[in-house]
Amino acid sequence: MAVVYKKKYPIPMPAGAEIIERRGKKLARWTNGKGQTRTAELCPDGRIQFVSDCWYIRYRDATGKTQRVSTRCKDRQAAEKVLADTLADIDKVRAGVMSHQELNASNLRDTPIDRHIEDYLAQLALKTTRGRRISPKHISNVRNELARLVKECKLLLLKDIDRQTMQEWLTKQTNTCRSSKDSKPLSARTINMYRAAIIAFCNWCVAEGRLASNPLADLPKIEEGEPARKRRPLTEDEITRLLQAAEERPLKDAMTIQHGPNKGKQLAKVKPQRRKKLIDIGKERALIYKFMILTGLRRGEVASLTVDSFDLKTPCVHVKAKHAKSGRAATLPLRPDLADELREHITKLEKTDRRTFSPQTPLFRLGRNFLRTFNLDLAAADIAKRDAHGRTVDVHSLRHTFATLLARNGVSPSIAQKLMRHSDIRLTMNTYTHLDLADTAGAVAGLPAI
């Protein structure tokens, strides 16, 4: 039977409490940490009878299980109203008017949205995607995005999330993005990240039974237009110049005088031992660039490779799932000449330090300043960072170069997609493959004469 009650249970006597008698009953009176005077009935064993401030309700749910829930109400009549509403919802479930999922969602309608978000972020921290934990940086970004939406859209409860409110916020941000000149507005891509964050949160609420359905399921994305950064591949001549500059620059920089009348001239003396070390650094750096161009691996994937990642007999390279962006392990073939250079490089690593060398030894040393080093090598090779069309060259452009070389050498799109490890062939052909007029003109020239 459904009842409204207050929790009662004995607790130890508070420090400094005095015993008083009121209406024939012994009571304990004390002052709590907030400076409030409290009284409670004295138990026979010397403890006091604690009585909760809020009223609780006990009832049987639609499945017949007994539930005990706090109403968070200090007024009995308000608690009885909560119980009546709960029983009415249960009757709707039994009559088939409401589903169990809708009932669970209605029970959480008065819970502050901040508590739901904290639960969501806590579960996100434990979630694994393709065998990998979600990064703390991503969780922090989601927290900030949801906090901003809650504040600016004035979301207090889950029921406050609706399509019109979010659409108005997105439209406002889009208009600001187009018109603002003084302040730095959000880009269309960033606005869509906020949209994705709130939709993912609502999907989680549906899966957890906190929402009956996602009110933002059909919320449209903002048109992003052209990407902020357009990359271009390197030409074969630029590849040659880059590899040569990368190999020669460490020694040249050490020999170049930085100050005085001979500034800029390569007259500085370099000891033989340091000279050999600088030459090895240059050769390794050139090998890294060549390896990335001929495999299409990303910088983080290359940095994760160890000596045992290679099978130089086949030859091929193995990328573990936890290091791949897709979360799937991959095995990629290697050109025979590249395999020979890698074999020589591994032998050199073993000779350098036999004591620490093992199959888990990192193959390449990319270092923290790898991006800056790459830009300096571009400058040394006289390769413009940005061309006349606004396209840039960066480390990821080496992956674009790999895809473009495959297309120029007649590799079929399906094989190129497999080598690039893309799930969508449109990404391979439309984003990473760059064919210019000379490439298409050759195809037209090969048509039969009419």
What would the pLDDT profile of 67-111 be if each residue is shown by its tens digit? Answer: 888 887 889 899 888 888 888 878 887 877 766 666 666 666 667
Shared-domain flag, residues 75 and 123: no
Quote the number of domains for the chain. Answer: 3
Range of the domain at 134: 113-207
Shared-domain flag, residues 357 and 236: yes
- The stretch 6-32 carries a mean pLDDT of 84
Shared-domain flag, residues 50 and 126: no
Domain contains 16: yes
Shared-domain flag, residues 145 and 196: yes
Arithmetic mean of pLDDT over the chain: 86
Handedness of CA 327, 333, 335, 339 (dihedral sign): positive
Secondary structure tally for the chain: helices H, strands E: 15, 15
Nearest to 158 by CA among 120, 204, 202: 202
Q: Which of 36, 66, 98 is the last residue of a domain?
A: 98
- The stretch 112-139 carries a mean pLDDT of 85
Shared-domain flag, residues 240 and 351: yes
Q: How many Å apart are CA 374 and CA 44, to the nearest integer?
A: 81
Shared-domain flag, residues 26 and 93: yes
Residue 182: is its pLDDT beyond 50? Answer: no
Domain contains 226: no
Shared-domain flag, residues 290 and 370: yes
Domain contains 414: no
Q: Which of 362, 388, 414 is the last residue of a domain?
A: 388
* Residue with token string 């012994």: 26
Q: Which residues pair with 40 in a beta bridge?
A: 28
- The stretch 408-436 carries a mean pLDDT of 88
Domain contains 249: yes
Shared-domain flag, residues 265 and 383: yes
Q: How many Å apart are CA 135 and CA 133, to the nearest integer?
A: 6
Residue 178: is its pLDDT beyond 80? Answer: no
Domain contains 305: yes
Q: Which of 70, 98, 126 is the last residue of a domain?
A: 98
